[in-house]
């Protein structure tokens, strides 16, 4: 079907044929400069000329070569975003915000996934650096490995030197002298509020399940959890915290294991909603009712939370907004650096949303 009647020539090399601006210029009978100007519209071109150019463009199906443009011009009109996994709702919603805002600001969006591998993350930042994106947005918690931090800091500096910017979305600063922008949310505060709510419902022995170890997000949530306990004068039992991972699978399997022991608890604080879904299944399979027998809460408030039965009480995090703010902040014209530093940090709020997975502790 792709055959025309030309006698099959020798196997063509992968010819990147492509209509160029020169073709358009020739076809319209003007110079390439004029074509460029007629298209970008940043320089006066006579109406008649512009029209001829547009006709030629349409006739030839010309579209500019973004790479040539990026090379000659100053900006690539592209932002890069690095997330763990495209299909994980936590990241997907942030990515949606990024994509929407980028698109609203006329930018394309280069997306890459680390699959939780921090070495890969470093490599991806370099890949994005090669692309000369206007910004690179790093999403989600980070490892607290010092070597890794140093390497990332180096990249932040390189990006800055290139006129780009590294924005940390939902992840802690790389240090006071590292040129980055940050949009964060109150992880510790959300965990505090949720824990306090559980306590107010009479719970004292609260199991904390999930979140990778040595990970900023886990650390912050756990800190809020512990602070709330301390604030109410409740002794902290290390046997009740079970770090591990953020997935549904981890929630399920770890809860199964715990259920096989005789650990005593009346509520479970899952490190995020996915973990909560796994925990819920384990509880369900054990014949334990939520919230009658055990209360359960999550974190993030992804749509899934509202589909679970019982509907999950959780901490709402404005994921999409975070994505939007990240690109807004990244693209904010920090050119007029009026000494008074334009704010390089945005913090969005979290709040708990009460649904049906928590019940007051009945006196036993």
Binding residues for a copy of itself (CB under 8 A)? 1-3, 8, 11, 14-18, 61, 63-71, 74, 76, 85-87, 89, 92-93, 95-96, 99-100, 103, 108-113, 126-127, 129-132, 154, 158, 160-163, 176-177, 179, 248, 277, 303-304, 307-309, 320, 335-337, 339, 341, 344
Partner interacting with residue 2 (select from DNA, a copy of itself, none; CB below 5-8 Å by kind): a copy of itself
Partner interacting with residue 349 (select from DNA, a copy of itself, none; CB below 5-8 Å by kind): none
Q: What is the dihedral of CA 302, 303, 307, 309, to 10 degrees?
A: 20
Among 8, 9, 72, 335, binds DNA (CB under 7 A): 72
Q: Which stretch binds DNA (CB under 7 A): 62-70, 118-126, 249-257, 292-300?
A: 62-70
Partner interacting with residue 337 (select from DNA, a copy of itself, none; CB below 5-8 Å by kind): a copy of itself
- The alpha carbon of residue 13 and the mean position of all alpha carbons in its chain are separated, in whole angstroms, by 41
Query: Smallest gap, in angstroms, from Cβ of residue 206 to DNA?
Result: 54
User: Taking the CA atoms of the chain, what radius of gyration do you get in angstroms?
Assistant: 27
Among 27, 45, 91, 350, binds DNA (CB under 7 A): 45
Partner interacting with residue 202 (select from DNA, a copy of itself, none; CB below 5-8 Å by kind): none
CA–CA gap between residue 207 and residue 296 (Å, rounded) = 9
Q: Quick one: 8 exposed, middle or buried, by C-beta within 10 A (0-12, 13-18, 19+)?
A: exposed
Partner interacting with residue 42 (select from a copy of itself, DNA, none; CB below 5-8 Å by kind): DNA
Name the residue nearer to DNA (CB basis): 15 or 338.
15
Query: Smallest gap, in angstroms, from Cβ of residue 205 to a copy of itself?
Result: 27
Partner interacting with residue 61 (select from a copy of itself, DNA, none; CB below 5-8 Å by kind): a copy of itself
Say if residues 333 and 180 touch (Cβ distance below 8 Å). Answer: no
12 binds DNA (CB under 7 A): no
What are the tokens at 16? Answer: 């990147």
16 binds DNA (CB under 7 A): yes
Residue 304's CB is within 10 A of a number of other CB atoms, namely: 17
Partner interacting with residue 15 (select from a copy of itself, DNA, none; CB below 5-8 Å by kind): a copy of itself
Partner interacting with residue 85 (select from DNA, a copy of itself, none; CB below 5-8 Å by kind): a copy of itself
21 binds DNA (CB under 7 A): yes
306 binds DNA (CB under 7 A): no
Q: DSSP letters along 128-181, please?
A: HHHTT-SEEEEES--B--HHHHHHHHHHHHHHHHTT--EEEESS--S-TTS-EE
φ and ψ at residue 289, rounded to 5 degrees: -95, 140
CA–CA gap between residue 56 and residue 52 (Å, rounded) = 6
Among 7, 14, 18, 61, binds DNA (CB under 7 A): 18
Residue 182's CB is within 10 A of a number of other CB atoms, namely: 20
Residue 298's CB is within 10 A of a number of other CB atoms, namely: 30
Name the residue nearer to DNA (CB basis): 46 or 239.
46
Query: Smallest gap, in angstroms, from Cβ of residue 165 to a copy of itself?
Result: 10
183-196: b (≥16 Cβ within 10 Å) or e: bbbbbbbbbbbbbb
101-127: b (≥16 Cβ within 10 Å) or e: bbeeeebebbebbbebeeeebbebbeb
Among 59, 71, 86, 230, binds DNA (CB under 7 A): 71
Say if residues 180 and 166 touch (Cβ distance below 8 Å). Answer: yes
Q: Which residues bind DNA (CB under 7 A)?
A: 16, 18, 20-22, 29-34, 36-37, 39-40, 42-46, 48-49, 62, 64-65, 68-69, 71-74
């Amino acid at each position: 079907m792709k055959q025309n009647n030309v006698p099959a020539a020798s196997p063509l090399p992968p010819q990147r044929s492509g209509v160029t601006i020169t073709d358009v210029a020739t076809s319209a009978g003007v110079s390439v400069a004029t074509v460029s100007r007629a298209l970008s519209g940043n320089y006066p071109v006579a109406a008649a000329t512009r029209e001829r150019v547009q006709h030629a463009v349409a006739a030839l199906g010309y579209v500019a070569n973004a790479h040539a443009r990026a090379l000659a011009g100053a900006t690539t009109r592209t932002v890069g975003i690095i997330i763990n996994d495209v299909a994980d709702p936590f990241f997907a919603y942030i990515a949606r915000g990024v994509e929407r805002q980028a698109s609203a600001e006329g930018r394309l969006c280069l997306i890459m996934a680390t699959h939780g591998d921090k070495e890969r993350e470093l490599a991806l930042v370099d890949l994005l650096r090669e692309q000369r994106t206007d910004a690179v947005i790093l999403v989600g918690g980070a490892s607290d490995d010092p070597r890794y931090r140093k390497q990332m800091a180096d990249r932040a500096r390189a990006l800055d030197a290139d006129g780009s910017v590294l924005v940390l979305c939902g992840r802690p600063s790389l240090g006071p002298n590292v040129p980055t922008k940050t949009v964060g949310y109150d992880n510790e505060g959300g965990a505090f509020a949720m824990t306090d709510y559980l306590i107010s419902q009479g719970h004292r022995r609260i199991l904390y399940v999930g979140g990778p170890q040595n990970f900023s997000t886990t650390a912050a949530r756990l800190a809020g959890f512990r602070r709330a306990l301390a604030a109410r004068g409740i002794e902290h039992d290390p046997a009740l915290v079970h770090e591990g991972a953020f997935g549904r699978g981890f929630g399920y399997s770890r809860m199964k294991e715990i259920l096989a022991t005789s650990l005593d608890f009346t509520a479970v604080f899952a490190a995020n909603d996915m973990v909560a879904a796994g925990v819920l299944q384990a509880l369900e399979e054990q014949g334990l009712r939520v919230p009658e027998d055990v209360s359960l809460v999550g974190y993030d408030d992804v749509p899934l939370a509202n589909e679970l039965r019982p509907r999950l009480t959780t901490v709402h995090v404005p994921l999409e907004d975070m994505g939007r703010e990240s690109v807004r902040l990244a693209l904010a014209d920090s050119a007029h650096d009026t000494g008074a530093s334009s704010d390089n940090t945005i913090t969005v709020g979290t709040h708990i949303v009460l649904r049906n997975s928590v019940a007051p502790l009945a006196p036993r």
